[in-house]
Amino acid sequence: MENAIFEAALDQLTSGGYARLTMEGVAGAARTGKAALYRRWASKVELVIDALDSTLPRLHGIPDLGSARAELLHLIELFTDAICSRAGAALHTLMAELSHQQAEVFKDFIAQRVIEPTKDTILDILRRGVERGDVRPGAVAPLVADVVPAMLMYQVKVSDQGPAPDYAVRLVDDVLIPMVRQP
């Protein structure tokens, strides 16, 4: 039942926007009662955050693929898949619609659920790369880890279609690898 509720919330968010999303509408689409929603979620903010949290992929635990390039590419492909998913579209709709003040709670969610875990994963990948010898030690830095989420969020903001199909390869090969590789 929870999955049906989350699907309904994301559908309403992407089709009508946050302002038009209602607990009643979600309940109807999920074939449950509004009271059942309010027992679990006190507001549509809480419902939307849980719906996004349950459907966005976890961007940590990238396996050792033998090279920093392969691991970074894998991570960025997961991230771009998430951006192009229904949850990604819902998040894009949400952030485009809300005022700065309204968006604060969702920005905190994005930072804690998406940005910080992504940066931590990038630092882990770079540390493994240092151990293997394909990343220079000085490249394991928070500023370097900021590049991927910053570039991907920029793509989300400037392109309604999301990143181009070859974006992950170009970001890794043209930006990241030159920044982190051994001389």
Is 2-52 CATH 3.30.360.10? no
Q: Structure tokens of 62? A: 């990238």
Residues 86-100: tens digit of each pLDDT: 888 887 787 777 666
> Between vectors from CA 175 to CA 174 and to CA 180, what angle results, nearest 5°?
115
Average pLDDT over residues 9-37: 93
Average pLDDT over residues 29-47: 94
Q: What are the boundaries of each domain within the chain? A: 2-52, 57-180
Average pLDDT over residues 23-39: 95
Query: Inter-axis angle of helices 44-55 and 100-110, to 10 degrees?
Result: 30
CATH class for domain 57-180? Answer: mainly alpha
Residues 153-172: tens digit of each pLDDT: 888 777 766 778 899 999 99
